[in-house]
Structure 1
């Protein structure tokens, strides 16, 4: 087993990283930053996003496992006091490890300079810069759907549906469903301007094109990556053919994560 490790950088995460390296070495695991089999993320879900974006070039060759240093996160199966058990299972040749594959979003940005591609594990957002109203035409499957006016648009993955999308009253989608969700951010709706006013879920063979008003200054984000642009001609959003692999050494169903994160233990 070859692994690499990324931590959040706080004292606890660094201490856990040192402990993990020692346990891994004692168990015969090999630290390999260049060609790992598994990426270990120690910190929070934000740390996992950093790990994901740092390994986009080998996404189909690696799997991820998360250790959460706070409360259990959506991308972390393990707690800080469970490192011994995690290393034991990772290093055991008889371990019943399962690979779970989640869909991600592919964002194709066309500008005056050319075409760029971005990926998102959680969500892609598009806003008007400096708090100005975003004005953009929305096409679904290359056909005109609506003219959007408002604060912005959020395109989320199924696993990201529990993040910013949820605060926008979007639906929670199980990651086994290959889809994207479009949620409006404070849309303007009156007698003159109309939008759908609710989130939309697109299957993996559908496209969403966002065409902003010419020369509009935009604030774009792909997960934690923020980009300011004023040269965007169009943005195409779709389910990527790539997927992210998570190594599961014990079951922790998605809906259990949702319950733990948002509802908690309500047993009497």
Structure 2
């Protein structure tokens, strides 16, 4: 049976062109390609930005198959190569010769409990919980059954180490090496007054054996909003949200020169035109 590679792209013209190049190259070396996972699928290639990768993982139901990302977006933190034929040839050669590493991304497992149903999901980057229509959110925060605080503010971010460089970082949270299994809780615009006492900086918990419970306290409207890896959902009458380390990972294929902190420097601190200056990253 021929080896199979799933190739997914967003709707940008450059992404569609790169997809066609990849299909042609893999077919020429005896592989099959498809849009969906088959029994003989061994790799998923995501063409686009970081958001495309997150959507593809979710759409394919978090498979136990490595992903490889080609950047046609902006930041491209998950991406390994730029959208050029030279870069594609470097990748295919590395893949055929097994000169790569597999980076396992820790996930959050989330249960959103309402009066009538429980919504179950996973997050690669983060779960955000906030109030509706820019109202102040009030919620009890519990860790391993122990009361920590009644948070008041715009919301809370629960992030993985992978997600520490995403919304968490923009909200003032810490960047954490993605080899570490942690859960970071970062407040969004916390209120800390005599009336409302909230943590004003992030808390970092060990991923293993940590269970977080968020219990909304409704002052008026019984609605909260959750955002999981950029996908927003509105819920009514949620009484508890549980967050824990998932018993699964997402595998990301990295070329052998990948180094997390070098990527942090290149993406956040270095000033350059990546289309011109980044031959390899």
Mark yes or no: TM-score above 0.5.
yes
- Change in Cα spacing, 1:78 to 1:72, as seen in structure 2 (3 Å) is farther
**1:85, CA displacement in angstroms?**
1.9
- Matched position secondary structure for 1:197: coil
Deviations 1:64-118 (A, max 9, x none): 000001456211011111112222333x2x3223221110111111111132211
Aligned to 2:258: 252
Q: Determine whether 1:225 maps to 2:195.
A: no
Is residue 2:266 matched to residue 1:263? Answer: no
Please show how residues 79-118 of structure 1 align to structure 2 within 5 Å: 79-81=82-84, 82-90=87-95, 92=96, 94-118=97-121
Worse-matched range after superposition: 249-258 or 174-183: 249-258
Residue 167 in structure 1 maps to residue 170 in structure 2: yes
More deviation in 79-88 or 236-245? 79-88
Q: Distance in 2 between matches of 1:229 and 1:265?
A: 41
Point out where structure 2 has 5 or more consecutive residues left out of the alignment. 273-281
Aligned to 1:42: 47
CA distance in 1, matches of 2:194, 2:91: 58
Match of 2:197 among 189, 194, 197: 194
Whole-angstrom CA distance in 1 between matches of 2:122 and 2:146 = 24
In structure 2, the residue matched to 1:56 is 61
Greater displacement, 246-255 / 227-236: 246-255
- In 2, are the aligned partners of 1:162 and 1:172 still within 8 Å (CA)? yes
Does 2:238 align with 1:236? no
Q: Output the CA distance in 1 between the equivalents of 2:211 and 2:32.
A: 42
Secondary structure of the 2:222 match is coil
> Unpaired runs of 5+ in structure 1?
none
TM-score by length of 1: 0.93
Q: After TM superposition, which residue ranges in structure 1, 4 or more long, deviate above 6 angstroms?
A: none
Aligned partners of 2:197 and 2:75: how far apart in 1? 40
CA–CA distance in structure 2, aligned partners of residues 13 and 218 of structure 1? 36
- What's 1:17 paired with? 19
- Secondary structure of the 1:34 match is coil
Whole-angstrom distance in 2 between the partners of 1:72 and 1:115 = 34
Residue 144 of structure 1 corresponds to 147
Question: Post-superposition shift, 1:63?
Answer: 0.7
How many matched pairs? 262
Counterpart Cα distance in 2 of 1:30 and 1:232: 45
CA distance, structure 1, for counterparts of residue 78 and residue 31 of structure 2: 23
